Homo-oligomer: A and B are copies of this chain.
Amino acid sequence: MKDIKHFLRQNSLRPTKQRVIIANYLFDGVNKHVTAETLSNKLLKMKAGISLATIYNTLHDFYEKGLLKKLMINSERIYFDTNTAHHHHFYSKKDQKLIDINVDMKVSGLPKPPKNKKINKIEVLVHLDN
């Protein structure tokens, strides 16, 4: 994708060297679940020496532009998901790995939310044993 710069500009983000490298990796067409740490490791392997501060800033900036979703699965790190469509996950604690569930799932028997509250979204997390 050589139009990553367009893509960033369209999202009101300056296409800096670091953002281009990170966006090229994240938005290569394969959905990913990354943490600051896993992204940093990947970038190190690609010989891209991008500071952790920038990695955090960039993940945050992409999140704020709606290019990433945040997943709160695990209290010790934040996962960012390049799949921004509404979907669910398998989670293997053992492997520390998430797998998308893109199939339509339905939740039935949901009670009414408390007074004055509206349902924003329903998240299903399927914990795997093994």
Contacts and interface: CB of A to CB of B under 8 A. Distances in A.
Interface residues of A, number: 36
Nearest to A73: B72
A3 interface: no
A127 B123 contact: yes
Contacts of A119: 126-129
Nearest to A79: B75
Given A124-B122, A124-B124, A116 B101 contact: no
20 contacts: A72-B72, A72-B74, A72-B75, A75-B77, A75-B78, A90-B113, A101-B111, A103-B110, A106-B108, A106-B109, A108-B108, A113-B126, A113-B128, A116-B130, A119-B127, A119-B128, A120-B128, A123-B125, A123-B126, A124-B125
